Amino acid sequence: MGICLSHSGSRSATVNSVVNHGQPSTTSSQWSSVATTSMSTSSKSANVSGNSSLFSGSDIDISSPAPAAGQMLPRPNLRVFSFSELKTATRNFRSDTLLGEGGFGKVYKGWLLGPSGERTIVAVKKLNSESTQGYQEWQSEINFLGRLSHPNLVRLLGYCWEDVELLLVYEFMQKGSLENHLFGRGSAVQPLPWDLRLKILIGAARGLAFLHASDRKVIYRDFKASNILLDGSYHAKLSDFGLAKLGPTASKSHVTTQVMGTNGYAAPEYVATGHLYVKSDVYGFGVVLVEMLTGLRTLDSNRPNGQEKLVEWIKPHLSDRRKLKNVMDSRLEGKYPSRSALEIAQLSLDCLENEPKNRPSMREIVETLQRIDGAPETLPRDQLTVKSSHQPTNRRGGRQQPLQHRSPLHPRQDSNQAYPLPQRRLLPSGK
């Protein structure tokens, strides 16, 4: 998880400790102490229903867009909702407002009234009281997504904490998840054309590059198709920051942490050692590139023997144009530029390199995708502030390693949740 907490009892800490209210502006070097706040757990029924004074929530315009350049705030800028307000917004959490369900709990569609009487559609996550991971993810979402603002990150609008009720309120993403568009079937799911696939990849890459751009980098740790959500214009945004973690200090190359994530997307060095690098996220991005090319899930036990693990099976096809053609998503019906597809396949191989240092940075990935798409080759500095340390090079190799699951904001049940992996000594040989 993004936060390590005691489980000796339950939650009695004030929300002030979660959101750092009233503290001086938090520098990036202070994030660690904020994001790993240890909370007392002596009383499960802590009543903080009067906590709406923590923020001037009524003054926050929940319909305003994120700043174009993105920013990290010194503390969360969130609206505090009452439980009764969210009950009303979701029609008492009625079943026909249910969007999805995962490790955190259930996600509902809600309608909030603005100051002028206008209605804003939102997504409301409600903690499952039996969840062992929900409280930690709730806290991590506030600590990270509550401070991060960027056009390619889903906007966290506010939260609710009353008695045992924990909820989070997000902007609503009309088109759901990339996972549903890539792997969903039926007349209601339209296949994504090539130009939209590139647009989504560029947006998701920008969001991830923004996280990696600060002095104290944020490692997303759970990059996957189900966590890429799409608005009405197929504008991609990253969601679900329950596993996010601060990156290493300048003097270190990695942080060491419990291995968490999703099977099929986690980097091999992280699975094998617990060492988490900024470029561990890049490996996950490479897996999504392969899924986008093929229209196939990273893991599928229903595929023929030897093809269950997508990356291991597909890698030999990614560097050859003719072999690549045979594994491209059939729902594209051949309507894609073969040269661009090959370039993306080669980029995926770079991302899937075994050694983190050999993988490209997310800034380099954004620039490569923009070039392939015909967009300006250099990313504008007002869009993303990142320093590139080296030029992209073609790389090969790397073995895909698994992990596991969690809860999204999109209208389907998540079958791809993130949980702790088995102890590393128990991993099968060769993994």
Identify the residue whose tokens are 């992996």.
Answer: 421
Identify the residue whose tokens are 């894609």.
Answer: 336
By C-alpha distance, which of 391, 324, 311 is closest to 353?
311
Distance CA 159, CA 214 (A): 25
By C-alpha distance, which of 271, 152, 244 is closest to 201?
152
Q: Which two tokens stand for residue 319?
A: 């560097």
By C-alpha distance, which of 235, 238, 212 is closest to 225?
238
DSSP string, 185-229: -STT-PPPPHHHHHHHHHHHHHHHHHHHSSSSPEE-----GGGEE
Element (H, E) at 102: none
Neighbour-count burial of 367, counting CB atoms closer than 10 A to its CB (0-12 exposed, 13-18 middle, 19+ buried): buried
What residues contact residue 336 under an 8 Å CB cut-off, 6+ apart? 194, 328
Distance CA 63, CA 123 (A): 13
Active site residue 222: yes
Query: In degrees rounded to 5, what are phi and psi of residue 153?
Result: -120, 135
User: Pick the catalytic residue: 163, 195, 222, 329?
Assistant: 222
Query: In degrees rounded to 5, what are phi and psi of residue 136?
Result: -65, -40
User: Strand pairing of 71-72 and 148-149?
Assistant: antiparallel
Instruction: Give the angle 202-371-191 at the CA atoms, nearest 5°.
Output: 45
User: Strand pairing of 245-246 and 236-238?
Assistant: unpaired
Neighbour-count burial of 76, counting CB atoms closer than 10 A to its CB (0-12 exposed, 13-18 middle, 19+ buried): buried
Residue 315 annotated in ligand binding:
no
| % helix, strand, coil for the chain, step of 5 | 30, 15, 50
- Residue ranges of the annotated binding site for ATP are 126
Residue numbers annotated as active site: 222
- Residue ranges of the annotated binding site are 126
